[in-house]
């Protein structure tokens, strides 16, 4: 089995796909960094001074005043306290909340890449892993060795998982390193609000807490990786089923784009929540953004994706081991 | 002494949809022989070969390689088999060496030693580190053979091995296949739609058309009884007259006359001709080409 994985890695590296992916991500990160930099500049001009400390201090005074008032509810008080903690942290650690550093850039990049960019990059690898063997005809050599077919496919799948992990790591690494040149490499301790729950059309803040950015980022990475594996497995299945790289990619791309569009218009079509493509924005649950369809939450979305993942894997293996090769 | 059977096929059938593509093939390959699989395009050669190498599952029937049933002991059966199905499609973006390394990793007990050996055997040692996309077709074909020989197979299956090669390449390939069979004792199954090819290369031939074998025999046996005698006679008209009174003749457009080849009668016919004052300028014994035989056996039918 090790040798088979070695084979797949050798082919993957020889095709130089990962280099291309790293280049694409690199270029995009530079682009976004520049855009972000421009935005901060205009913001600064609008505010006049760049003394952000006074603004934060003012904010803290306001919150303290409100807290001392006896008329506000306990729940609201809790919210304000969290807010106060956050503001105090900014001041103590000399962090400009409007100009947050490379680690925050990385977070925003990951959150926006989760439903399009990363799946797209994963697709580039996954969709031709099997179909290229068919289109080149090498499948005939691959399957006439004294090796069971399921082992051949498993070695390809394990390679895919390696590649997916690598892509997520590359995205994280490049977004940090490249944006840091402009924003500085700080801010891993920045507190960030999480734990929002949306129930019955209302924001439930009972579980809201402050989390260090690095902990938050670890969770983000986990979610991005999970989504990437699911999308990779689905493209892998299409690669087995369709045997044409272009067609497989087309189908997957259509699914991803339709997911982005559907998210904006399916709030009344409830069963759409079982489609995998509206469940990809897992990181939104961490931020507390309202889900596209009522009743969706992090564990629901993850279970839906898990079911799709398992089904795709099962179909891939059954079809690949049973099918006649012409 | 009867040689050992290495590949045994019994009543092999394949149904696709409602059409029976392969209609019950039975044949054996023995150690050290080159077996030809001859048929027009679409006769079912490639489908059969794909069943032999495990790419297509037969609807019924059995295939044994060195005694192992391919349906039950896939790994053991395939361990004894090397093959090229259609063109040798290797990874163009890998070097020749890495291609061989790739396939050697899929066979237990094949290491770098063996890769070097087969590389030398097929004469690719100089170019083995170049990417396959820079190879000529002949070199790809040789790398394909090297790949097939990696696991020291007992049975070698080659689908149209000379397809696309130039005459020198074809001769080289033919000599190499003969060498493998005679010196290394491999059983080689070769498919072709070229009759001359099979005639020069094979010990035995199965003639296949529309999914059935219509004849299996040694090349010599298929060809004997079909030898002809070619005569050039002077003067032509009178010679023809005399000869046709003795036996059935065929006039050829180049001024030759063909009769059957019959060792007992030919001296007598010759004597008769000479006595009638006809000069016998040429007498040639003609081996028939398989082409004639093939047309004869299939009744000249075409493939739809």
- The model's pLDDT over A273-309, given as tens digits with 9 standing for 90+, comes to 898 988 888 888 877 677 777 778 888 999 999 999 9
DSSP codes joined into one string, A298-317? HHHHHHHHHHHHHHHHHHHH
Q: How far is A1 from chain B (nearest CA, A)?
A: 9
State the helix-helix crossing angle for B266-275 and B236-246, rounded to 10 degrees: 140
**How far is Cα A279 from Cα A297, in angstroms, rounded to an integer?**
9
- pLDDT of A110 higher than 60: yes
Q: Is A113 helix (H, G, I), strand (E, B) or coil?
A: helix
**Res B51: pLDDT:** 93
Mean pLDDT of the A156-163 span? 96
Please give the span between the terminal C-alpha atoms of chain A, in angstroms, as a whole number.
Answer: 26
**How far is Cα B292 from Cα B227, in angstroms, rounded to an integer?**
11
**Chain A contact for B45, CB < 8 A?**
no
Contacts of B57 in chain A (CB under 8 A): 324
Question: Apex CA B264: angle with CA B258 and CA B266, to 5°?
Answer: 35
Backbone region of residue A137 per phi and psi (left: phi > 0; alpha: psi in -120 to 50; beta: other values) = left
Residue-level length of chain B? 304
Query: Quick one: tokens of A50?
Result: 């760049």
**Res B249: pLDDT:** 85
**How far is Cα B266 from Cα B272, in angstroms, rounded to an integer?**
10
**Res A160: pLDDT:** 96
Contacts of A6 in chain B (CB under 8 A): 105
**How far is Cα A242 from Cα A228, in angstroms, rounded to an integer?**
21
- pLDDT of A119 higher than 90: yes
Higher pLDDT, residue A198 or A34:
A34
Q: What is the CA radius of gyration of chain A?
A: 23
Query: Quick one: tokens of B143?
Result: 């790398």
**Chain B contact for A137, CB < 8 A?**
yes
**Chain A contact for B133, CB < 8 A?**
no
Contact state of A324 with B56 under an 8 Å Cβ cutoff: yes
**How far is Cα B282 from Cα B272, in angstroms, rounded to an integer?**
15
Per CATH, the number for B5-223 is: 3.40.50.300
Chain A (148-177) residues lying within 8 Å, Cβ to Cβ, of chain B: 148
Q: Is B62 helix (H, G, I), strand (E, B) or coil?
A: strand
**Res A207: pLDDT:** 67
**Res B29: pLDDT:** 92
**How far is Cα A83 from Cα A86, in angstroms, rounded to an integer?**
5
- pLDDT of A136 higher than 70: yes
Of A15, A68, A25, A46, the closest CA to residue A168 belongs to A25
Q: How far is A10 from chain B (nearest CA, A)?
A: 8
**Res A99: pLDDT:** 63
DSSP-assigned letter for residue A275: S
Name the closest residue on chain A to residue B98, using Cα atoms.
A10
Q: Which residues pair with B13 in a beta bridge?
A: B23, B60
Q: How far is B199 from chain A (nearest CA, A)?
A: 28
Q: What does residue A263 show for φ and ψ, rounded to 5 degrees?
A: -50, -30
Residue A49, preceding bond cis, omega within 30 degrees? Answer: no
Name the closest residue on chain B to residue A139, using Cα atoms.
B89
CB-count burial class (<10 Å; 0-12, 13-18, 19+) for A46: exposed
Of B124, B146, B147, the closest CA to residue B136 belongs to B124
Selected residue of B13, B16, B55, B77 to mutate for chain A interface (largest A Cβ count, 10 A): B55
Query: Quick one: tokens of B207?
Result: 């003639």
Give CA separation, B197 vs A131, B26, B146, in Å: 35, 23, 21
Contacts of A10 in chain B (CB under 8 A): 94, 98, 101-102
Query: Quick one: tokens of B257?
Result: 């006359």
Query: Quick one: tokens of B84?
Result: 């090229």
Q: Are A216 and A188 in contact (CB under 8 A)?
A: no
Q: Are B14 and B183 in contact (CB under 8 A)?
A: no
**Res B256: pLDDT:** 86
**Chain B contact for A15, CB < 8 A?**
yes
**Chain A contact for B54, CB < 8 A?**
yes
Q: For residues B201, B204, B209 and B210, what is the CA-based torsion angle, rounded to 10 degrees?
A: -120
**How far is Cα A202 from Cα A191, in angstroms, rounded to an integer?**
24
Q: Is A10 helix (H, G, I), strand (E, B) or coil?
A: helix
* H or E segment to which residue B63 belongs: strand B60-65
**How far is Cα A263 from Cα A91, in angstroms, rounded to an integer?**
38
Which residues have CB under 8 Å from A111's CB, separation 6+? A220, A283, A284, A287
DSSP codes joined into one string, B209-237? ETTEEEEEEEHHHHHTT--EEEEEEESHH
Mean pLDDT of the A148-171 span? 95
**How far is Cα B215 from Cα A47, in angstroms, rounded to an integer?**
95
Q: Are B89 and A135 in contact (CB under 8 A)?
A: no
pLDDT band at A50 (very low <50, low <70, confident <90, very high): low
What is chain B's pLDDT, residue by residue, as a tens digit (304 residues)? 568 899 999 999 999 888 999 999 999 999 999 999 888 888 888 899 999 999 999 999 999 999 999 999 999 999 999 999 888 889 999 999 999 999 999 998 888 999 999 999 888 889 999 999 999 888 888 899 999 999 999 999 998 888 778 888 888 889 999 999 998 889 999 998 887 788 889 999 998 888 888 888 888 887 776 778 888 888 888 888 888 888 888 888 788 888 888 888 888 888 988 988 888 888 888 877 766 777 777 766 554 3
**Res A165: pLDDT:** 96
Give Cα B293 distance to the centre of its chain: 15
DSSP-assigned letter for residue A220: H
Q: Is B289 helix (H, G, I), strand (E, B) or coil?
A: coil
**Res B13: pLDDT:** 93
Of A83, A82, A289, A75, the closest CA to residue A198 belongs to A289
Q: Are A188 and A281 in contact (CB under 8 A)?
A: no
DSSP-assigned letter for residue A71: S
Q: How far is B209 from chain A (nearest CA, A)?
A: 19
Q: Which residues pair with A232 in a beta bridge?
A: none
Q: Is B105 helix (H, G, I), strand (E, B) or coil?
A: coil
**How far is Cα A124 from Cα A170, in angstroms, rounded to an integer?**
15
**Chain A contact for B83, CB < 8 A?**
yes
Q: What does residue B280 show for φ and ψ, rounded to 5 degrees?
A: -95, 105
**Res B303: pLDDT:** 42
Contacts of B90 in chain A (CB under 8 A): 138, 141
Residue A269, number of CB atoms within 10 A of its CB: 13
State the average pLDDT for chain A: 85
Mean pLDDT of the A61-81 span? 79
**How far is Cα A111 from Cα A120, in angstroms, rounded to an integer?**
15
Complex confidence, ipTM: 0.81
**Res B200: pLDDT:** 85
**Chain A contact for B89, CB < 8 A?**
yes
**Chain B contact for A147, CB < 8 A?**
yes
**Res B80: pLDDT:** 93
Mean pLDDT of the A152-165 span? 95
Contact state of B92 with A136 under an 8 Å Cβ cutoff: yes
The residue whose two tokens read 């890495």 is B98
**How far is Cα A194 from Cα A211, in angstroms, rounded to an integer?**
7
Q: Is B160 helix (H, G, I), strand (E, B) or coil?
A: coil
């Amino acid at each position: 089995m090790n040798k088979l994985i070695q084979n797949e890695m050798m082919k993957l590296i020889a095709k130089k796909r990962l280099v291309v992916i790293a280049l694409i991500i690199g270029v995009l990160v530079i682009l976004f960094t520049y855009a972000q930099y421009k935005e901060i500049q205009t913001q600064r001009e609008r505010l006049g001074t760049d003394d952000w400390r006074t603004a934060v201090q003012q904010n803290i005074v306001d919150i303290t005043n409100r807290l001392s008032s006896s008329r506000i509810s306990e729940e609201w008080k809790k919210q304000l306290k969290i807010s106060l903690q956050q503001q105090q942290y900014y001041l103590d650690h000399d962090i400009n909340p409007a100009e947050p550093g490379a680690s925050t850039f990385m977070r925003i990049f990951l959150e926006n890449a989760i439903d399009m960019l990363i799946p797209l990059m994963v697709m580039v690898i996954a969709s031709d892993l099997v179909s290229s063997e068919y289109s080149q005809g090498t499948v005939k050599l691959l399957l006439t060795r004294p090796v069971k077919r399921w082992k051949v496919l498993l070695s390809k799948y394990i390679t895919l998982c390696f590649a997916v992990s690598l892509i997520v790591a590359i995205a994280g690494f490049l977004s940090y390193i490249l944006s840091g040149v402009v924003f500085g490499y700080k801010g891993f301790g920045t507190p960030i609000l999480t734990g929002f729950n949306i129930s019955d059309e209302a924001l439930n803040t009972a579980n809201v807490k402050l989390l260090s950015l690095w902990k938050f980022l670890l969770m983000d990475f986990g979610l991005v990786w999970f989504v990437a594996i699911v999308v990779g497995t689905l493209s892998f299945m299409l690669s087995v089923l369709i045997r044409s790289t272009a067609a497989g990619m087309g189908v997957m791309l259509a699914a991803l784009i339709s997911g982005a569009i559907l998210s904006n218009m399916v709030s009344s079509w409830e069963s759409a929540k079982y489609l995998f493509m509206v469940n990809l924005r897992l990181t939104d649950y961490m931020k507390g953004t309202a889900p596209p369809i009522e009743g969706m939450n992090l564990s629901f979305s993850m279970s839906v994706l898990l079911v799709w993942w398992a089904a795709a894997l099962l179909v891939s293996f059954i079809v690949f081991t049973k099918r006649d090769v012409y | 002494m009867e040689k050992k059977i290495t590949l045994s096929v019994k009543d092999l059938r394949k149904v696709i949809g409602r059409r029976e593509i392969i209609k019950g093939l039975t044949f054996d390959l023995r150690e050290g022989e080159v077996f030809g699989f001859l048929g027009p395009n679409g006769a079912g050669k490639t489908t059969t070969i794909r069943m032999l190498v495990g790419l297509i599952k037969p609807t019924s029937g059995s295939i044994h390689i060195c005694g192992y049933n391919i349906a039950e002991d896939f790994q053991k059966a395939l361990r004894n088999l090397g093959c090229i199905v259609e063109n040798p499609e290797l990874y163009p973006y890998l070097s020749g060496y890495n291609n061989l390394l790739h396939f050697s990793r899929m066979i237990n007990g094949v290491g770098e030693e063996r890769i070097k050996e087969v590389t030398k055997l097929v004469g690719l040692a100089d170019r083995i580190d170049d990417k396959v996309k820079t190879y000529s077709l002949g070199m790809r074909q040789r790398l394909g053979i090297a790949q097939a020989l990696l696991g020291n197979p007992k049975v070698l299956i080659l689908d149209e091995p000379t397809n696309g090669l130039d005459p020198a390449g074809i001769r080289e390939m033919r000599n190499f296949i003969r060498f493998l069979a005679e010196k290394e004792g491999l059983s080689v199954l070769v498919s072709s739609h070229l009759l001359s090819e099979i005639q020069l290369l094979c010990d035995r031939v199965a003639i296949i058309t529309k999914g059935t074998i219509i004849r299996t025999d040694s090349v010599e046996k298929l060809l004997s009884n079909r030898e002809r005698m070619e005569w050039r006679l002077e003067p032509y008209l009178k010679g023809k007259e005399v000869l046709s009174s003795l036996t059935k003749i065929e006039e050829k457009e180049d001024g030759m006359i063909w009769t059957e080849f019959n060792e007992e009668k030919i001296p007598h016919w010759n004597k008769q001709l000479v006595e009638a004052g006809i000069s016998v300028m040429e007498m040639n014994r003609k081996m028939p080409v398989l082409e004639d035989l093939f047309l004869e056996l299939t009744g000249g039918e075409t493939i739809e």
